[in-house]
Amino acid sequence: MKEPIRLRLVNYAALAICSMLIFLVYAALFQSNDTVFDSWGYSLPNSSCNLSSERTNVDAVDPQEFLLRRLVRGDDRVELDSNGFSCHTDVHSEVCVENKAVRIYNKGLTVYVPYDHQPQPQVKRIVKPYARQQDETAMRVVSPVQILHGNNTINPPPPCNFTHNVPAVVFSSKGFAGNVFHEFNEMIIPLFITTRHFRSRVKFVITDYQHWWVQKYNRVLSHLSESDVINPDDGSVHCFPGAVVGLKYHDHLALNVTDIPGGYSMFDFRQFLKESYSLKTNHVSEIRKPVLMLISRRNTRRFLNEDEIVEMMEGVGFQVIRVEPERMSNLDEFAEVVNSCSVMVGAHGAGLTNEIFLPNGAVMVQVVPLACDWVATYLYGAPGKPMGVRYLEYKIEPEESSLFDKYGKDHPVITDPESVTSKGYSAYRTVYVEGQDLMINVERFKNTLIEAKQILEASVPFNR
């Protein structure tokens, strides 16, 4: 993981908003709708692109405009109300909301937003719709989406091939897709944060379209949106009554309940996963004999004495399921397997993200390699708590690291990891993240597993 810096999202506007006021403002907006879409002012080659008739399809009870507005606050909302368009940028993500008819074309990479009341010159805004703006490596492979706002006489948008009656949400399926931590952290959770409150009345337009990714997360996508995702690569032009470009991001594997339009929490997200994947186990107490999932790694941070570890775990009283990376790629099946376990054990690594499917009251045991303490706790330890998962750490001793044999006990790699870390992330990564395997002292490790077992025995189901 490449996350050495603790960063806080800033710029949140004040929270408390009287719902009465929202409705008053909304009512005022709705009345002025007739003029809003006249602003296209250009003859439309295809009558199915009659934007004023699109507007009349808007459901008056659960208006999309209202739902789109909830994604922005403060000045951004004022701007959205006056321009029909506003963007919010923070450290991790950039999100633009268009609260009026848009046309999406050029493989999803151009979004045309008409101007409002007053004719304006065209303004171009470039957004990379992936929630890791601070990370150059991730962003390099994310295609920029240009949003054209205003005068379209220079580059008039092509006519619509398809006209939709719900808003579009545009995001990239590249970035760090391929690593399950990043898939949940920057894609799936942000997608939930951004779109859950639409109650499926949205369509996803996926740029940098990767079919395997769409297939892998098919259940999540189909539970967040009423229809199939749109792959705009065929050159088709899609018209929508509004759009969101980019996804909102909060924190590592986290949702901030006070900053989500529907007020959803990690509890709600897990409930959503439970429905999407038909997960049956709600609480560990429903599992009769405790089942332990041991995540087996292939390349780095391997357990060198895995058989011995499994034997010890069985001795403690667990039924052990060993899983290898390939097994995790079929998420539809794997989520159910995780959900049937009481304990998950693994060395620090992306596979631990699957803790998100564990039942309430389950225990996650992270084996922390040398010099990985902080990043381990930060990435997988802290996020477990809101998931209702108990977290235990087993920090290895230097003798349990393959680096001990490789460098010798007096080498700075062992005695002074800071001297390596201070040379930068790449040096750190080569030595500790990619260059380290683990020879676990099973006698010592046994204590952690006994503790896990005791936690399970003491855990009482709670109902929410």
Ligand X SMILES: *[C@@H]1O[C@H](CO)[C@@H](O)[C@H](O)[C@H]1NC(C)=O
Candidates 213-221, 232-240, 351-359, 437-445; binding stretch for ligand X (CB under 6 A): 232-240
User: Least CB distance from residue 169 to ligand X, whole Å?
Assistant: 21
Judged by beta carbon, residue 46 or residue 215, the one nearer ligand X is 46
Query: What's the closest the beta carbon of residue 281 comes to ligand X, in angstroms?
Result: 29
Q: How far is the CB of 88 from ligand X (least distance, A)?
A: 12
* 235-254 binders of ligand X (CB under 6 A): 235-237
> Near ligand X by CB under 6 A, which window of 52-60, 213-221, 302-310, 452-460?
52-60
CB of 50 to ligand X, least distance (A): 4
Residue 394 corresponds to which tokens in the numbers above? 């087993």
First and final CA of the chain: distance in angstroms?
A: 34
Rg (CA), the chain: 25
**Mutual orientation of helices 442-458 and 306-316 as an angle, nearest 10°?**
40
CB of 223 to ligand X, least distance (A): 25
According to the binding rule CB under 6 A, does residue 46 interact with ligand X?
A: yes
Alpha helices by DSSP H, listed for 281-360, are 306-316, 331-339
Is residue 10 involved in binding ligand X (CB under 6 A)? Answer: no
Please give the full DSSP string across 201-262, using - where no structure is assigned: --EEEEES--HHHHHHTHHHHHHHBSSPPB-GGG---EEES-EEES----BTTB--GGGSTT
Is 57 one of the binding residues for ligand X (CB under 6 A)?
A: no
| Near ligand X by CB under 6 A: residue from 19, 31, 153, 426 | 153
Q: How far is CA 363 from CA 142, 271, 357, 391, in A?
A: 36, 18, 12, 6
Binding positions for ligand X, 93-122, rule CB under 6 A? 119, 121
Nearest residue (CB) to ligand X, 259 versus 451: 259
State which residue, 9 or 139, has the beta carbon closest to ligand X. Answer: 9
For residue 165, state whether it binds ligand X (rule: CB under 6 A): no
263 touches ligand X by CB under 6 A: no
Chosen residue from 23, 28, 42, 48 binding ligand X by CB under 6 A: 48
Decide: is 53 part of the binding site for ligand X (CB under 6 A): yes
Phi, psi (deg, nearest 5) at residue 300 = -125, 160
162 or 391: CB nearest ligand X: 162
CA atoms within 13 A on the CB side of 48: 11
52 touching ligand X, by CB under 6 A: yes
Give the whole-angstrom CA distance, residue 68 versus residue 100.
Answer: 10
Nearer to ligand X (CB atom), residue 259 or residue 393:
259
Q: By C-beta, is 261 or 290 nearer to ligand X?
A: 261
Q: How far is the CB of 391 from ligand X (least distance, A)?
A: 18
Neighbour count for residue 84 (Cβ, 10 Å): 26
* Least spacing, CB of residue 16 vs ligand X, in Å: 11
Rounded distance, CA 50 to CA 375, Å? 53
Contacting range for ligand X; rule: CB under 6 A; set: 88-96, 147-155, 293-301, 388-396? 147-155
- Using CA atoms, how far residue 201 sits from 59, 62, 169, 224, 240, in Å, is 10, 10, 11, 8, 12
Nearest to ligand X of 351, 383 (CB atom): 383
**Cβ burial 421-435 (10 Å sphere, 16+ → b, else e):** beeeeeebeebbbeb
Residue 322's nearest CA partner among 311, 379, 438 is: 311
Of the residues 12, 42, 212, 462, which one makes contact with ligand X according to CB under 6 A: 12
d(CA 167, CA 246): 13
159 belongs to the binding site for ligand X (CB under 6 A)? yes
Enumerate residues 13-32 that contact ligand X by CB under 6 A. 15
Cβ of residue 163: shortest distance to ligand X, in angstroms?
7
Phi, psi of 112 (to 5 degrees): -100, 125
Interacting residue with ligand X among 259, 286, 332, 336 (CB under 6 A): 259
Binding site for ligand X (CB under 6 A): 12, 15, 46-48, 50, 52-53, 56, 119, 121, 151, 153-154, 159, 161-162, 234-237, 256, 258-259
